[in-house]
Amino acid sequence: MAITPQWKDELRARITLSTLVQRSVKLTRAGREWKGCCPFHEEKTPSFYVNDQKQFYHCFGCGAHGDAISWMVDHAGLQFMDAVKELAGMAGMEVPAPDPVQAKKAEARASLIDVTEAAQRFFVDSLAAPTGKTAREYLERRGFSPAVMREFGFGWAPDDRQALPRALAHFGEDMLEGAGMRAANEQGERYDRFRGRVMLPIQDARGRVIAFGGRILDKRDGVAKYLNSPDTELFDKGRTLYNLHRAAPAARQSGRVVVVEGYMDVIALANAGIADAVAPLGTALTEMQLELLWRMVDAPVLCFDGDAAGQRAAMRAIARALPLLAPMRSLGIVRLPAGLDPDDLIKAQGKGAMERLLAQPASLIETLWEFERDAQPLATPEAKAGLKARLMAHVETIADPEIKGLYRRELGDRFSAFAYPPRPPKPAFQPGQSGQWKGGPPQPQGLSEGARVQLSGMMAGGQRQGLLTAVLAGLARHPDQIARHAEALSILARANPSAASGIESLFELAETLDSRGATAICSEQGQPAPPADIRYAFLDEGNDPGAACEELAEAVSLLVERPALEAALAATISRFDSDPEGSFAEQTRLRAQLMAVEERLKAFGRRKAAAGNTGDDAL
């Protein structure tokens, strides 16, 4: 078998790079890294860093960069296989036996790189030639500086089907086709894949040209605006990030890597001085590309256009990332203003506007929540339940159990706060002529302290029945208050069947009752008399009528509110198994309201009327 990338990854993982480097270089701890003077160039101030977590060393002075294998090659002077064998001995691993087939493929890949490198030189020369004038003018209109054009290797593919075979005659047709430079039609005719396009080289992590991207100058029907090389022995677009070899060193200095939608966006950012940007190559981010990003920083920033397509691209990236999330491994999301790409934003508002957006990315979970919340109208309970189902389906894709639990809880909390928002404290029920609620929480006016003491203790079932009886008797004594409380009494009749007959009788007799009469509704008329051992302000003729009516209104409100809250609480408890988060939040709210009702009930005093009490004692 061959030495595969997976085998090399395991070898690196078993080697502590700082320990290896410290055999010959003095290092000191610097946060999560180690630093020292670079062994590759003379320096007095340390600029050489070793990161064990990400398994690389880097010098900010001379640019030396690599892993354990390259350290043994570049510093110890070993050949590649000798370096691998020595490290494998340290790690306790067996070096795989050579695979002739893989060795032959490696040799073929090396030859294909010769083709792509030669093609790149041809495209650069073509841009500088008279035939490249139109392309040069286009790039100047785009505002790309000459320095950026040289750095990114802009070129021009002439609009000629046979330009490459003439220019690269020393390579055979098979090699040109194997490098993705040529294609064939159904008739077997071979032609240049890239024609009449501004060309950009696509490079691997070592900066070698492995593929190309081409852009047409003017929109033409039936012609793709962008065209990339096909997958070849050199190029796998799902494992390659455009500009990675430049962005990686910049990201180590900035602590950030920005992912934009296309390579022209990368170049626009570089043109503005933002060097830590990369782009996928015509596809959504893949798992391998995410792994490459996480090797550089803990939370890459994905920057998408502000239109619907950009939002969908963000969600595709999030869906790919969720199964791979791990502690200290996430994504930040930036959405540009609608209708603007990075180049447009920078031209319109300057580099500072882009930097401000990149400095405050939304979290992955925030973007996920907002996307699903806004995906469709949520006007019905069924639609809200659909939102929760979609959120939980995303959560189920997360492999890490701790992160899965945290996402489930936070998204559940967000859903509960959205679907069951806290309601304001329910005001006392004081219907006016329109039957609507008026005012805020009751503030009984003119009640004596004796009245508060007298009406306490109405919590128990029997006491509540006593309060109901007394309220009916009080309304009989103050019939002008019946219309005021008609809606509340109707609600009470529906909630408490035992009260229905008395309330119906009260409505029937409302017009015939006279508060100045000697008696109101009594037991002989089918209504129970008020409890003999309890008196209320609204039952005593001598009390202030205004205060009595306010106390009566409070009593009616309590009679209606408590059973309604109890019924709502019971319904909420019954759905706990199907919706634990929402049920718990609603229970908390309802119990708080019940406690408030109980406090108001306790504010009513309770006093047994002794037979020998004087008039001053009675309320």
CA-to-CA distance for 257 and 277, rounded, in angstroms? 6
Mean pLDDT of 154-183: 92
DSSP 293-340: HHHH-SSPEEEE-SSHHHHHHHHHHHHHHGGG-BTTB--EEEEPPTT-
Mean per-residue pLDDT for 257-285?
91
Q: Which of 38-52, 186-200, 282-296 has the highest mean pLDDT?
A: 186-200
Across the chain, mean pLDDT equals 79
**Is the Cβ–Cβ distance between 474 and 541 less than 8 Å?**
no
What's the whole-number mean pLDDT along residues 239-267? 90
> How many Å apart are CA 96 and CA 116, to the nearest integer?
30
**What are the CA-CA distances from residue 539 to residues 48, 68, 199, 464, 542 (Å)?**
91, 93, 96, 17, 9
**DSSP result, 157-183:** E-S-TTHHHHHTTTS-HHHHHHTTSEE
Residue in this structure with the two tokens 């039609």, named with its chain if needed: 185
pLDDT score recorded for residue 160:
93
Tokens of 80: 């590649």
Tell me what pLDDT residue 275 has.
93
Task: Assess contact for 156 and 131: CB atoms under 8 A.
Answer: yes
In this structure, which amino acid lies at residue 179? A
The DSSP call for residue 482 is: T
Q: Does pLDDT of 565 surpass 60? A: yes
Domain ranges of the chain: 5-91, 111-347, 366-419, 449-603
305 class by beta-carbon count within 10 Å (0-12 exposed, 13-18 middle, 19+ buried): buried
Reported as a pLDDT band with limits 50, 70 and 90, residue 231 is very high
Summarize pLDDT for 334-376 with one digit per residue, the tens: 999 888 888 889 988 999 999 999 999 999 999 999 999 999 8
- Which CATH fold would you assign to the domain 111-347? DNA primase DNAg catalytic core, N-terminal domain (3.90.980)
Mean pLDDT score, 564-576: 71
Non-local CB neighbours of 354 within 8 Å, separated by 6+ positions: 269, 272, 274, 342, 345, 346
Report yes or no: 455 and 536 within 8 Å, Cβ to Cβ: yes
Class of residue 168 by CB neighbours under 10 A (exposed 0-12, middle 13-18, buried 19+): buried
What fold does the segment set 5-91 form as a domain?
Answer: DNA Primase; Chain A (3.90.580)
Q: What is the mean pLDDT of residues 41-54?
A: 86
Top-confidence residue, 445 or 318? 318
182 phi and psi, to 5 degrees?
Answer: -125, 155
Predicted confidence at residue 43, as pLDDT, reads 82
Question: What is the mean pLDDT of the segment spanning 412-441?
Answer: 60
Please state which of the ranges 151-165, 438-452, 512-526, 559-573 shows the lowest mean pLDDT.
Answer: 438-452
- Secondary structure of 573-607 in the HEC alphabet? HHCCCCCHHHHHHHHHHHHHHHHHHHHHHHHCCEC
The 10s digit of each residue's pLDDT in 431-479 is 444 444 444 333 333 333 443 333 333 333 444 566 777 777 777 777 7
Q: Are strands 301-304 and 258-259 parallel, antiparallel or unpaired?
A: parallel
Using the predicted structure, report yes or no on whether residue 73 has a pLDDT greater than 80.
yes
- Candidates 266, 269, 270, 301; CA nearest to 280 is 266
Whether residue 273 has pLDDT greater than 80: yes
